[in-house]
């Protein structure tokens, strides 16, 4: 899908190429198997500990009023899974790797009791879905990546645009400064661009002694 377009268009950066190499397909995952990242992880959108957090509550109200399109691949969340766990789940689910990569009708992937898949994005969606769906319907679509995915590629997936509210100013500044200190210019510039023009002017002004 989007991965092939990146390659064919010759626009893929190193992080995207790594994501392509580690991508293993699409599946429906029971909500109990999603593990939400800590809010303090670089690039991770803060969501809080319950559905009362601002964006999760906003999404829950949308689900209640107009429903949600969890069949749309654009709403799937990226998760990490080990090769051993994936192989066992494919066998237990009577699926195949080809079926997962096809993405047309993602299978319900059966995972062992207590297995948790780390979400790199979409925490508010998962939190709202856990509150909204009744037993027997508690699943969400996932894009599967092997857990050997390098840290830089994980950062890229976390920061990728999704149908959620914008990051707060403090979150943007924190991620911007972290990438600057790491010497990661392109990622710092991407975070800088999330601010509106007036906010960028204010930030420049704070860094100048004559303002």
Phi, psi of 20 (to 5 degrees): -60, -45
d(CA 164, CA 162): 6
Q: Which residues pair with 82 in a beta bridge?
A: none
* pLDDT-based confidence at residue 12 (cuts at 50, 70, 90): low
Element containing residue 58 per DSSP (H, E): helix 54-66
* pLDDT-based confidence at residue 27 (cuts at 50, 70, 90): very high
For residues 201 and 102, the model is more confident at: 102
* 165 and 137 Cβ atoms separated by less than 8 Å: no
pLDDT at 38 over 60: yes
pLDDT at 113: 93
* pLDDT-based confidence at residue 21 (cuts at 50, 70, 90): very high
* pLDDT-based confidence at residue 187 (cuts at 50, 70, 90): low
pLDDT at 194: 62
pLDDT at 156: 84
Element containing residue 157 per DSSP (H, E): helix 151-159
pLDDT at 45 over 70: no
The CA distances from residue 11 to 3, 72, 84, 184, in Å, are 10, 24, 32, 19
- Structure pTM? 0.69
* pLDDT-based confidence at residue 138 (cuts at 50, 70, 90): very high
Element containing residue 206 per DSSP (H, E): helix 197-206
| Helix, strand, coil % over all residues of the chain, rounded to 5 | 50, 15, 40
CA-based nearest residue to 184, from 203, 159, 208, 166: 159
Averaged pLDDT score across all residues of the chain:
79
d(CA 127, CA 5): 31
pLDDT at 7: 41
Q: What percent of the chain has pLDDT over 90?
A: 36
d(CA 103, CA 187): 30
* pLDDT-based confidence at residue 4 (cuts at 50, 70, 90): very low
Model confidence pLDDT, tens digit, residues 49-108:
555 466 778 888 888 887 787 888 888 999 999 999 999 999 999 999 999 999 889 999
d(CA 182, CA 1): 32
The CA distances from residue 59 to 53, 126, 136, in Å, are 10, 10, 21
- What is the distance, to the nearest Å, from the Cα of residue 117 to the centroid of all Cα atoms in its chain? 12
Angle between helices 14-22 and 151-159 (to 10 degrees): 100
Maximum alpha-carbon separation in the chain: 67
CB count within 10 Å of CB 189 equals: 12
pLDDT at 59: 83
For residues 178 and 11, the model is more confident at: 178
Q: Which of 35-39, 91-95, 136-140 has the highest mean pLDDT?
A: 91-95
């Amino acid at each position: 899908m989007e991965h092939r377009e990146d390659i064919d268009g010759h626009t893929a950066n190193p992080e995207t190429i790594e994501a392509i190499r580690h991508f293993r397909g699409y599946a429906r995952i029971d909500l109990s198997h999603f593990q939400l990242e800590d809010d303090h992880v670089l690039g991770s959108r803060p969501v809080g500990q319950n559905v009362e957090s601002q964006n999760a509550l906003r999404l829950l109200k949308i689900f209640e009023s107009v429903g949600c399109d969890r069949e749309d691949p654009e709403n799937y969340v990226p998760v990490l899974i080990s090769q051993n766990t994936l192989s066992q789940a494919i066998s237990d689910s009577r699926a195949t790797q080809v079926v997962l990569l096809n993405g047309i009708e993602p299978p319900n992937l059966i995972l062992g009791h207590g297995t948790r898949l780390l979400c790199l994005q979409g925490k508010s969606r998962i939190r709202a879905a856990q509150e909204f769906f009744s037993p027997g319907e508690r699943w969400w679509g996932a894009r599967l990546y092997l857990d050997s995915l390098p840290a830089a590629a994980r950062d890229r997936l976390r920061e990728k645009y999704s149908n959620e509210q914008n990051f707060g100013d403090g979150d943007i500044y924190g991620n911007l400064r972290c990438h600057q200190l790491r010497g990661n210019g392109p990622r710092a510039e991407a975070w800088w661009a999330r601010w509106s023009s007036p906010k960028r002017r204010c930030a420049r002004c704070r860094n100048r002694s004559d303002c």
